[in-house]
Structure 1
């Protein structure tokens, strides 16, 4: 007969065997799992290094391509804007270096660049509205237009918000080619001095920065848009409405021969300003657009679009796939 001690020893032996088996088994499996994870890590590290190498190669190719395009740019645009004067306006947040590079290329295209005007964010600051209105109110009627314009400037309308008044004043100072009067006698312009007085007033008040080139009168204008708001953030409808109104002031009533709204690729997609311009029925028909303007290729596109605008045509160009095509046909 099997006694109780035998049962106890048997049970202890079984549990001891299970424990030993678990220890040995887990050690083996841990090594297998470790080896597998180590192999996967080595594989991912190799893939990551390969991708970094590919990215570096592509970055070098893009840099070399941009260098080539930049070198060929002056020859590509030579003479396209001969006989024209062009103003460059940068909206708040636009890249100043892109404006400088574009102004240089416009000169290579034969244009006389009248200056670069940078609009400051203070124009949109509600806390600056009183100061902005006071600045506009000090301008003489003749400098705002008065009898020199064939019809009153939009800025003269009573009750108009101060930013709208200011932007209309700046538009009239930047490009002030006025069509022939009702008698058909020539082309009228407000004086360069009056234009400079307007820009100086808003500059001294801290609302604009001006790089003047000695002559104020321009018959064409390029407006540089800022990048689109970051992903997930809402667009600024009030700012967009003000900027679109500014474009209308620049081109409406024949004040200029034409205008191009140019900006980085991000601005061509909502909530970017170029995308907003394309959605506005009046602006899209009367103001050309050019995306990727922060790149050498985009600056060339901008010059071609401006040359087309000088001929009375409007189009939307660039490399984002949201445009009519990369370039207008100027032949």
Structure 2
């Protein structure tokens, strides 16, 4: 009985509230509610119009900035890398559009792209480390200087890649040394490196393009060792990649004291500005200065200064040693005086 009365009271309350609402909505509160709703709609419409205007303004400013950057690219790159040869190297996951754009920018700066190669997943995969160890043990026989006894497998192979791309014949500096050729062939046959276009001669510099997305810890460790080793090879070296997440290679390099002091880095690869910064950063590195460039926190500068490089000069060729002709060395018995030989025979 109590439950029934409770339900009756509840229903009466609901209908009473509904009736009061109808009366108020149709009566004294009608105009207030209508005006309030109209005001809110007008406010939302104005906010939408303001946001649209702000977006249009931002897009216009961005288009103006891009137009300026495009116009400034040629004068900012002209003559930066006069007659330098550059090998373009990529890590797994590098953005192909970035690689193409950087290649074009380096060419605009006066460089020749001589070799486009990709470091494969075999180099960075944790599961392939024992295989890499075997290759590293074989390739050290061709390396000069030889790696330190405590160098990691990836450090050894990174140095080998650098030497394979830059090692020249001391008797003909325009050609690869036999050791460099042997290392290059071993790296290709072991599929640690994939060849898109082969280098035709020892290069003056290397640009490494990092992955577009952060990598795992073991992959980063291998990539860091490769990067540090390439930076130690004679010639110029620059690493290009994002610096937006903790797993980005550029951020890892910049956070490593030893690597930061030896590796020139450029961030923001997806922006047009990076295509101006990268060739200039490589030029500064070739001049002997290591620095970080771009828009990430803590970089040394946004835009590198022009170091005013002159075209590279080949090292002076060493004189090739003359081969010894053993056929000219006569047997003493053959050169003995016949008369003396007869006299010796008679005496006997």
Whether the TM-score (by the shorter chain) exceeds 0.5 is yes
Q: Does 1:256 align with 2:234?
A: yes
User: C-alpha offsets along residues 284-331 of structure 1, whole Å, 9 cap, x if unaligned?
Assistant: 122211112332211211111111111111221112343122122336
Match of 1:3 in 2: none
- 1:245 aligned to 2:236? no
Say if 1:158 and 1:310 are closer, same or farther in 2 by CA, change over 3 A.
closer
* Helix, strand or coil at the partner of 2:285: helix
* Deviation at residue 96 of structure 1 after TM alignment: 1.8
Partner of 1:212: 197
**CA spacing shift, 1:272–1:305, aligned 2, 3 Å:** same
Q: What stretches of structure 1 of length at least 5 have no aligned partner?
A: 1-13, 179-184, 230-234
The CA deviation at 1:167 is 3.0
Which residue of 19, 23, 31 maps to 1:24?
A: 19
Q: Does 1:323 align with 2:299?
A: yes
- How far did 1:67 drift? 4.6
The question of whether the paired residues in 1 share the 8 Å contact of 2:155 and 2:229 is answered with: no
Task: For residues 19-64 of structure 1, give each alpha carbon's deviation from its aligned partner in whole angstroms, at most 9, with x where no partner exists.
Answer: 7652233344698779857864664465346435533553454345
1:116 paired with 2:116, answer yes
Counterpart pick for 1:152 among 143, 146, 152: 146
Q: Which residue of 1 aligns with 2:278?
A: 302
Q: 1-side partners of 2:106 and 2:10: how far apart?
A: 89
Look at both structures and tell me which one has the larger radius of gyration over its CA atoms. Answer: 2
Q: 1:325 to 1:164 in 2, by over 3 A?
A: closer
> Equivalent residue for 2:161?
170
TM-score under structure 1 length normalisation: 0.71
Change (3 A) 1:317 1:126: closer
RMSD between aligned alpha carbons? 3.9
Residue 181 of structure 1: aligned partner: none
Instruction: List per-residue Cα deviations over 1:171-210 (Å, max 9, x = no partner).
Output: 32233379xxxxxx99979826754554454445544332
In 1, Cα distance between the equivalents of 2:224 and 2:35? 62
Matched pairs, number: 294
Matches within 5 A, 1:87-102: 87-102=87-102
- The whole-number CA distance in structure 2 between the counterparts of 1:49 and 1:128 is 57
1:176 and 1:37 map into 2 onto residues whose CA distance is: 78
